[in-house]
Structure 1
Amino acid sequence: MKLNLEQIPRVKTITKEKFLKEYVQLQKPVVIEQLIMDWPAYKKWDLSYINSVAGDKTVPLYDDRPISSEFKFNEAHTSMRMSEYLGLLEKGSTNYRIFLYNLLKEAPKLQDDFKYPDEIGLKFMKKLPFLFFGGKGSKVFMHYDIDLANILHFHFHGEKQCILFPPSETKFLYKVPHALISHQNIDFNAPDFNKWPALQHAKGYITNLKHGEALYMPEGYWHQMTYLTPGFSMSIRSVSRKTTNFIKATYNFFIMRHFDNLMRKTRGQKWINYKNEEAILRTNKRNGYS
């Protein structure tokens, strides 16, 4: 069996009025295929170009190991020079990913290659464009972002698969308590419904993003990415419009992540194991599978 996923709607271009009315106000995702064709990045950005402007930088790396008490919330697993990492990507021999690479700080030359698409009606936070890199087959676990922002996600160099779920489906996704993730043992590309029975009720979206395409992800949407080829993406953010989401984001920043780090430090792996067990127990009980 497969997840209940529908294709994310696609448009070549879009007006401000249509984007706000049909997608932002309704909190529905959409792929805009030709939003950035006038950016220098559309023609310039590939792995070779990134190497030329940032190859000497030391970058934090993450892999797909299970979350453990060894690392703090969002703490990198290792680091290496960007040039070395890009070499691994081109060989197709790594599951290391770069997560939240601050391009304004680390490679300011890249700022000349893009502009904020304010014409679509969202006000973007101008200091927070991040880059994400992955090798063929590498996966980003199912999660939602700590700030519950409206996100525009642009992909470059290759193709990656994106699976999304709206916040309404959280009750089916085996959310880990005191965290922003679903249970990491779930394979969202081939889920075992005998082991994760509530998942069969979740209704979500799927698309494959190609070079230059932009994906709008509404506030608090769950997302899981699989790199079908080596490549990278850039996200820009607009703050939550919903007051409830702004309050939740504030809680995530100032209470939840600090509490989780404290518990990892004091209880170690027992805390991680407890959260994973609770994700299963709570979800199955909520959906009548206990």
Structure 2
Amino acid sequence: MKLKPIEKVSGLSSKEFQEQYLKTKTPVVLKDLAASWPATDKWTWEFLSSEYGHLEVPLYGKDYHKAGKGYMTPTTTMKLGEYLDLIRHKPTDLRMFLYNIFEHAPALSNDFSMPTIMDGFLKNHQYMFFGGAGAKVALHYDIDYSCVFHTHFQTQKECILFDEDQRIHLYNHPFTVQSHVDVLNPDYDRFPALRHAEGYHTILEHGETLFMPMGCWHFMHYVVGGYSLSLRANASLMTKAKGLMNISRHFIVDKGMNKIMGEKWKTLKEDIAHKRADKVLT
């Protein structure tokens, strides 16, 4: 597996961004996209805890993809203030995602603005992500096939990305946008095709924004407990249609077969992923 550093830039015009990164589907870290946002200075641990600590939030553990009744469902719930105190001071694999905090705390939406670096931003799809030190986000690409602008706050987050065409080396589970390889500790005996994968690596610092093109595979590792904001944009009607197809396939096929087959469905997906990768190796 080969990883090269993601370029970090400032002062990009909209035209430069679209020519150099959007059209070429190349990841980049924008150092100043969020520089004028109130959130960059305002969203401290103390602020979020004091203002929104009462919210009851869903949390997900490392068993998120475990087959059966608990497949892709929350592990537990907790008051946001208690959770923030936990991830600020202790390692934990509990993460908060797939929860639109802005529906419950709409005033937070006033602390950032939609970028003008490209068109197509989705105003109703703003999400925050929280995790404790050591927590990992399994390798995947976003199901809606949108472009993602991921801004991190307060701490550091390690990000490993792969272009869409690398999926055959990543053991993509069929009917999903997931892979279960651990790119931090690659097991080349079990996943030999992973040796040939080529990707990108960066450590995202406070206030920096990672641009992930549509279909870009990403693996996130919370070096220190922290939180991020993702804003999404559709590049075209074609990408929107592909996202709808992914969502339908996930909810109809993957979740449906999980209910019927449970662990056998997971094993079948793994077998298919290995057979596809083996064809490339031979």
TM-score, with structure 2 as normaliser: 0.95
- Aligned partner of 1:67 in structure 2 is 66
- Does the Cα contact within 8 Å between 1:53 and 1:109 map onto a contact in 2? no
How far is 1:207 from its partner? 0.5
| Partner Cα separation in structure 2 for residue 92 and residue 259 of structure 1 | 38
| Partner Cα separation in structure 2 for residue 258 and residue 78 of structure 1 | 25
- Does the Cα contact within 8 Å between 2:91 and 2:134 map onto a contact in 1? no
- Aligned partner of 1:167 in structure 2 is 164
Aligned-partner SS, 2:236 = coil
- Does the Cα contact within 8 Å between 1:154 and 1:213 map onto a contact in 2? yes
Aligned-partner SS, 2:97 = strand
- Aligned partner of 2:209 in structure 1 is 214
Aligned-partner SS, 1:177 = coil
Q: Which moved more, 1:259-268 or 1:126-135?
A: 259-268
Mapping of residues 146-165 of structure 1, within 5 Å: 146-165=143-162
How far is 1:187 from its partner? 2.0
Q: Does 1:196 align with 2:191?
A: yes
Mapping of residues 109-258 of structure 1, within 5 Å: 109-118=107-116, 120-182=117-179, 184=180, 186-241=181-236, 243=238, 245-258=239-252
| Partner Cα separation in structure 2 for residue 190 and residue 264 of structure 1 | 27
Aligned-partner SS, 2:269 = helix
Match of 1:276 among 270, 275, 278: 270
Aligned-partner SS, 2:91 = coil
**Aligned sequence identity (%):** 37
Which 5+ residue runs of structure 2 have no aligned equivalent? Answer: none
Aligned length: 281
Q: Which moved more, 1:8-17 or 1:206-215?
A: 8-17
Deviations 1:175-222 (A, max 9, x none): 11111111x2x2211212222111111111110001100011001100
| Partner Cα separation in structure 1 for residue 48 and residue 18 of structure 2 | 33
Q: Which moved more, 1:15-24 or 1:45-54?
A: 45-54
Mapping of residues 24-103 of structure 1, within 5 Å: 24-65=22-63, 66-72=65-71, 74-103=72-101
RMSD across aligned positions (CA): 1.5
Which 5+ residue runs of structure 1 have no aligned equivalent? Answer: none
* 4+ residue segments displaced more than 4 Å: none
Aligned-partner SS, 1:235 = strand
Q: Does 1:286 align with 2:269?
A: no
TM-score, with structure 1 as normaliser: 0.92
- Does the Cα contact within 8 Å between 1:104 and 1:127 map onto a contact in 2? no
| Partner Cα separation in structure 1 for residue 219 and residue 84 of structure 2 | 22
